[in-house]
Structure 1
């Protein structure tokens, strides 16, 4: 048998040497198609760990979930009497994430919803600290302090997401941070991030709460998920914040 004239160069000579005998050669599987291009893999790639966890979430017992979250708060056993126990396992994943976050809350909401938020400053005034607030800011009772009340909304739909009341000690804030609160109307975390102020956020307590009187007309529900934290600047407590989230 003679070689096929249509065989590529070199293949005809090999054919003649083999005496026209067909030889089966097991080639390595390299996902190459006949034209030399790589074919797509036949097996599907495993989804990422995050996607697998999101699609197979098993709800743990309420007590273990709440304990897991409570361990992130340094003063949970000293929370105010107005707060009640909260079944953390019943909360939406986003709200559980926000509850234990020590970074900018608005950024978390925006990353999750892919929508911008708007911070509405409802009130700013100068007050004297009561015993509880003064103790957590480590200053004497009656110390003058700036109080800021804000409502954070979905900028597109105008829906409220949470409200926050913050006590700020002006003498412990860098000048650029004080100016930012007045001129830029940013949230606390956003202002700290923009001006690269070194800080430490300490989560204090959380629980089920009633929306504060000053924000009740703006919140869609009477009950909220509350947390309180303080921010240290240069090692000293400078900001005490309480946040109430719509559940």
Structure 2
């Protein structure tokens, strides 16, 4: 999935749009069948998650009132073949790819998935080790390490595609309307982590 970020730039309608506010009256998302989806029409919790700079897992636990666990799907170190501009990664640089799903332990619903690209070279050794072990979530690690950081939203979009809605049927993904956001985490004044989170709308309309 790293190739999806090659040569992308910051010129998106959402770059910096929610840096200092959570409301944009006319905000629309590139949506299904080339149509625009008004953010005002999204479920309130989903709209909040798209622009928050807090920990998504904690927000999901508080709203749905069940423990949410982070299941690791992919964890590997690769070499970038081309530039990843949003992360200032150059060709030949090693990055960590990480994909997880956020699963309600009682309902077994998959509330979100997240694909991350981690620029290992700008992080302290102990943080690199914790991330490559896959034993801790990125949000939890940043919070517990005391690392000074902030999140910067780069893009928001919607599409319809196959998505595993529940862990009760692990081999039965369904066509679903998905809203996604891509943001980066700035640490030590440098882009350090690029994350795309995917949210199935159906879980947020119930």
**Shared fold (TM-score, shorter chain, > 0.5):** yes
- Quick check: which has more Rg, 1 or 2? 1
TM-score between both structures, scaled by the size of structure 2: 0.72
Residue 174 (str. 1) matches residue 124 (str. 2): yes
State which drifts further: 213-222 or 147-156. Answer: 213-222
Residue 225 (str. 1) matches residue 171 (str. 2): no
Q: Is the 8 A contact 2:71 2:102 kept in 1?
A: yes
* CA shift for structure 1 position 105: 0.8
Aligned to 1:38: none
Residue 111 (str. 1) matches residue 65 (str. 2): no
Aligned to 2:103: 153
Residue 204 (str. 1) matches residue 204 (str. 2): no
Q: Deviation string for 1:56-92 (max 9, x for gaps)?
A: xxxxxxxxxxx99983179x9xx9xx98633212211
Q: What is the DSSP-based 3-state SS (H/G/I as helix, E as strand, rest coil) of the residue aligned with 1:71?
A: coil
Kindly tell me: are residues 214 and 73 of structure 1, through their superposed partners in 2, closer, same or farther at Cα, counting changes over 3 Å?
Answer: farther
Kindly tell me: are residues 213 and 128 of structure 1, through their superposed partners in 2, closer, same or farther at Cα, counting changes over 3 Å?
Answer: farther
Larger RCO (CA within 8 A; separation ≥ 6): 2
State which drifts further: 210-219 or 152-161. Answer: 210-219
Q: Which consecutive segments of 4 or more residues in structure 1 shift more than 6 A?
A: 67-70, 212-216
Alpha-carbon distance in 1 for matches of 2:66, 2:152: 28
The runs of 5 or more residues in structure 1 that have no matched partner are 1-66
Superposed CA RMSD: 3.3
Counterpart among 38, 45, 48 of residue 97 in structure 1: 48
Q: What is the DSSP-based 3-state SS (H/G/I as helix, E as strand, rest coil) of the residue aligned with 1:178?
A: helix
Q: Deviation string for 1:156-203 (max 9, x for gaps)?
A: 121100111100011212233223334463321121112221111111
TM-score between both structures, scaled by the size of structure 1: 0.61
Aligned to 2:74: 123
Aligned to 2:144: 194
Alpha-carbon distance in 1 for matches of 2:172, 2:40: 27
Q: How many pairs are equivalent?
A: 175
By percentage of residues, which structure has more helix?
A: 1
By percentage of residues, which structure has more strand?
A: 2
The runs of 5 or more residues in structure 2 that have no matched partner are 1-12, 21-26, 202-206
Alpha-carbon distance in 1 for matches of 2:81, 2:35: 22
